[in-house]
Amino acid sequence: MKTIAFFDTKSYDKLSFSGRENDKYSFKFFESKLNENTVSMAACCDAVCVFVNDNINRFVIDKLCEFGVKLIVLRCAGYNNVDIKYAKGKITVLRVPDYSPYSVAEHTMALLLMLNRKLHRAYIRTRDHNFSLEGLCGFDLHSKTAGIIGTGRIGRVFGEICKGFSMNVLGYDPYPSNEFVGEYVDLDTLLKTADVISLHCPLTKENRFFIDQSAIEKMKNGAYIVNTSRGMLIDTKALITGLKSGKIAGAGLDVYEEETHLFFEDYSDEVIHDDVLSTIISMPNVIVSSHQAFLTKEALKDIADTTLYNLDSFFEGKELKNQVL
């Protein structure tokens, strides 16, 4: 029986994996994130299973190899937290390339609807028996233009949802898909035209902070921006400037550029020493959720199914269809 060390584990992870019939693997669930200080927990394990905020750098990779760990399985699609170049030839890395695209796409629309119709503010008011409608005016999504950056499965599903609201849909992607329901345009045209901009692309060296001051200046006055992909796609300080000036009317963020040591944890009894995050959370036209767009029963099942498939493929010597390198 192979031993798999799960890092950054929450209750829903345990339910997804331990609630199945299994005679192949022994799971060790650790709440700690995998990093230089916790990698020793992986000693005597055959593989590690990691999530988006684990830090698999050179030191961690060397230690895993030293411990005899043969495999890193990511229970997510992105792998920007793994030093892929350094891992090459040393340890195998597998990922979950896709799972329920509806989970993230629907959360994206939920953020947009909440922002536009000020539902977060209305919820707080009515709990205080304040039934005033002052300051809660939104706009019809009907006939507005949604600009979707990244038209993989999630971006395409979000485009279909936008079509359901009778929105015009524009898309930008270096690799266009003939399944995309909208019209492809160049990035500048999308930024200048869209009433709502939604990010659905992986984080790469090329697009890190590509939504910066220059990109924001190109946007339509009063545009909304939603990010359910990766935090470092947006320069948060530039975003705050755009929000303060009114250039951006609102932002829905499920991710944040410095989320690694914060998201997925409870700091409600502590002072957060991150002035940028504290500023953006305090703004009335911003909604921040804690990287929860993926969190549906269907998505968790898909993630567990693919992760177990990846483990079986590796340890049974089968084709590694989801290999990163």
| Residues acting as catalytic residues | 230, 259, 291
Residues 6+ apart with CB under 8 A from 230: 78, 80, 202, 203, 255
Catalogue the E-assigned strands of 13-160: 25-29, 47-50, 71-74, 92-94, 145-149
Cα–Cα distance, 182 to 171 (Å, whole number): 6
CB 209 within 8 A of CB 232: yes
Nearest alpha carbon to residue 17 among 6, 2, 8: 6
Nearest alpha carbon to residue 226 among 135, 162, 319: 162
Residue 248's beta-bridge partner residues?
Answer: 223
Largest Cα span, the chain:
64
Residues 6+ apart with CB under 8 A from 2: 24, 25, 26, 46, 47, 311, 315
